[in-house]
Amino acid sequence: MRKKYTSQDFTNGVPPKWCQGCGDYAVFKTLTTVFAHQTIPKEQYVVVSGIGCSSRLPYYMSTYGFHSIHGRAPTVALGVKMVNPHLSVWVVTGDGDALAIGGNHYNHIMRRNHDVKIILFNNQIYGLTKGQHSPTSPLGLITKTTPFGSIESPVQPIPQAIASGATFAARVPYTDMDLLGEVLTAAAQHRGTAIIEVLVRCAIYGEDLFDSPTSDNTKNNTILLKNKEPLIFGENRDKGIIMDSFEPKIVSLDKVNKRDLLVHDAHRENANLAYLLSTMSFPEFPLPMGIFRQVSKPTYEDALHEQEQKVIADQRQHGLLDTFMDRGTWELKNSV
């Protein structure tokens, strides 16, 4: 029988080296609590990170871990998972790490559906390297590298993940630890790649970045996605979302029939609705929080295992020499 754990069992006593007020603390605390409540034995957890403030997290966990190289955490994590499919493998990464240098890996791990969970700490800034703009920095943001305001369109991590085939995609603000716990628990139980974008505050270089959607008047600025429920939000829950000519539109509930409201369905095979919701951005729309997409599909590891078994059963011995001497090779003969 699995030992009963507490969140303390997943921390190693090393004091985290994050600034006071950094959002990373909340994710760390919630993650250790979620790990403690799963049925997974402690020795089966592996936490892999890239480079950045958030990527220090494996140092503070009492699990197996790997502080890998910039942007490459998904490659290390999927390697770990492929050689030992029994492990629960998690990637901890930031917006710079995952979406700039690691942007390529981000897309490919989604489409291949490796059974790896990715927590993307999105603070919209490079914190560790002292405040440069990142791929998710909003247009116009003044930073050390954009002194007159960023002129780049920001990457939207969730639409990008869904467009790449993510089978589980969610967004949570670090300020809502209950929702974060629910989403991380669902991710832990999902088979396939799970991407969880956590909106975290960098207390030093991006203090105000998430204030509007997550702190002030959140009932107007965010909308909680509840499966099979209509999209309703607002201080008095008096506003909703409908579709109007293939575009979402905010309406007052007293002006529409409730049956016309858009209903969320994270389990829908077709990803179009999840994609559409994930593109709704603040301040034009309330920022959606919760699980956008959660569908079943064979994992890469399943497909690999199935192929291996088939080849073994067919007794097709195909060694390196066979590959070299197969069709498409020829012998060079000296004409002299």
Residues interacting with ligand SF4, by CB under 6 A?
A: 18-19, 22, 24, 53, 123, 127-128, 202-205
Residue 53 vs 99, nearer CB to ligand SF4: 53
Residue 123 vs 193, nearer CB to ligand SF4: 123
**250 vs 23: CA distance, rounded Å:** 30
Residue 204 CB, nearest distance to ligand SF4 (Å)? Answer: 4
249, 243 contact by CB (below 8 A) = yes
Structure tokens at 204: 């030093």
Q: How would DSSP label each residue in 253-276?
A: GGGS-GGGS-B--TT-SS-HHHHH
Residue 94 vs 192, nearer CB to ligand SF4: 94
Residue 199 CB, nearest distance to ligand SF4 (Å)? Answer: 12
Residue 203 CB, nearest distance to ligand SF4 (Å)? Answer: 4
Residue 70 vs 108, nearer CB to ligand SF4: 70
Residue 251 CB, nearest distance to ligand SF4 (Å)? Answer: 38
Residue 98 CB, nearest distance to ligand SF4 (Å)? Answer: 14
Rounded to the nearest angstrom, the gap between the alpha carbon of residue 231 and the centroid of all alpha carbons in its chain is 23
Burial of 187 (0-12, 13-18, 19+ CB in 10 A): buried
Rounded to the nearest angstrom, the gap between the alpha carbon of residue 6 and the centroid of all alpha carbons in its chain is 25
Reduce the DSSP state of residue 292 to 3 states and report it: strand
Residue 133 vs 239, nearer CB to ligand SF4: 133
Nearest-5° angle of CA 98, CA 101, CA 106? Answer: 40
Look at residues 84, 75, 136, 82 and name the one whose alpha carbon lies nearest to residue 108: 75
Residues 6+ apart with CB under 8 A from 322: none
**282 vs 265: CA distance, rounded Å:** 21
Phi, psi (rounded to 5 degrees) for 134: -120, 175
Residue 19 vs 325, nearer CB to ligand SF4: 19
Residue 221 CB, nearest distance to ligand SF4 (Å)? Answer: 22
Q: How would DSSP label each residue in 200-241?
A: ---TTT-TTTTHHHHTTTHHHHEEE--TTSB-EESTTS-EEE
Residue 26 vs 225, nearer CB to ligand SF4: 26
Residue 268 CB, nearest distance to ligand SF4 (Å)? Answer: 35
Q: How would DSSP label each residue in 17-69?
A: ---TT-THHHHHHHHHHHHHHSSS-GGGEEEEE-SSSGGGHHHHBSSEEEE--
Residue 71 CB, nearest distance to ligand SF4 (Å)? Answer: 17
Reduce the DSSP state of residue 195 to 3 states and report it: strand
Residue 154 vs 290, nearer CB to ligand SF4: 154
What residues form DSSP beta bridges with 222? Answer: 287
Residue 16 vs 79, nearer CB to ligand SF4: 16
Residue 200 CB, nearest distance to ligand SF4 (Å)? Answer: 7
